[in-house]
Homo-oligomer: A and B are copies of this chain.
Amino acid sequence: MDRLPTIEDVARAAQVSRQTVSNVLNTPAIVKPATRKRVEVAIRKLAYRPHASARRLRMRKSSTIAIRLDPMTNGISGALLDRFLHALTEQADARGIRVLLFTAADPAAEIEQIRKLRAGADVDAFVLTATFHGDPRTEWLVENDVPFVTFGRPWGANDMNNPRHLWVDVDGFAGMREATVHLIDQGSSRIGFVGWPSLSGTGDDRRRGWQAAVEERLAPGDGDLAALNLSVEDRLEDARDAVMALLESDDRIDGLVCASDTLALGAMIAAASVGRSELPIIGFDNSPVGQAIGLSSVDQTLDEVAGGALELLLGETGGDLVHRDADAGDTRHRLITPHLVIRQPLRLLAPDAGSTPTATKNAVGNHKDGKESQ
């Protein structure tokens, strides 16, 4: 064979479907032992490496990866992908790899750009962001054997176990669960969630983290979860209005977790407006703005995300791809656990004028002492 073996070659040699080979690679436990054995023999015989195309990357000349840069979005959490780009550029540079930027108005245009960049041999591999269910870009990249990695899960069942779809993502479920548990540990017992309408995999994942913590630790009553669950667009004003209405209708609420720092800042404004500036609020993304105003937030550890993306792409993870546990040593996917950053909030929203900012006791970290409600 004068080319590297593909997953199809393995399937043909083992007389199984492509999906079965994929299952052996990803979830060997669900494959019948005899079939698994046959596939593993074929893999070894053909010296098939799921990462072959990615591994070739090291030998290519351009040493360049490309990523789409979208028009600037406004808002507070909007800079997340910029921060990822900074981390990616820095870590790529440390490996002697350049980052090339391009723009594209939609997925079809992005595919066309990728095609051109590949044709010109200017770019070895691609980093994709903002993945979504049924994403045509990743499908095209797999079909055309273009090395790529996504920041974001496929959010669809089929690609989840595709060994040719490398991805890194942040475990929003775990992050929001930790934030909620933190508030419970600090004394909160009725915690609202401010998230986005149920459209995005990312947003729903974060919502489930809040829900899991509340169900595990607080034993909510009938209808409580629905009553405490806000869905608004990622705009400060929308969050402010929704939270203000919630706080006015329910004075027992003693904590809020939010799917973004934008929403959290809106929530802070709402809380101050109804005389509840002490209300503990935690955001998500650990944005520069959140840092500036002392907002507690879930940090996506973008350095880890960028490092993970490059490691997967460059095949730096090593390890035997066949004989491994399904949950450990995964060299194709990386789900990173974010970490909670707790801050003393700036006395941004001050209903009592005149006192010095350093005298505040409304920090999330110590609200057990100074809490007024309940």
Contacts and interface: CB of A to CB of B under 8 A. Distances in A.
Contacts of A350: 269, 272-273, 349, 351
A153 interface: no
A275 B90 contact: no
B76 A89 contact: no
A76 B349 contact: no
A265 B292 contact: yes
A75 B275 contact: no
Contacts of A82: 72, 79, 82
Contacts of A49: none
B346 A348 contact: no
B102 A98 contact: yes
A274 B353 contact: yes
Contact of A354 (B69, B87, B275, B354): B275
Residue with the highest number of chain B CB atoms closer than 10 Å, among A69, A122, A355: A69
Q: How many copies does the complex hold?
A: 2
Interface in A252-302: 262, 265, 269, 272-275, 288-289, 291-293
A176 interface: no
A86 B74 contact: no
Contacts of A87: 72
Contact of A236 (B272, B292, B354): B292
Interface residues of A, number: 52
A64 interface: yes
A351 B353 contact: yes
Interface string A53-88: 000000000001000011111111011001101110
Nearest to A98: B100
A101 interface: yes
B103 A292 contact: no
A346 B87 CA distance: 33
A83 B76 contact: no
Given A99-B100, A236-B293, A349-B350, A89 B74 contact: no
A265 B293 CA distance: 10
A204 interface: no
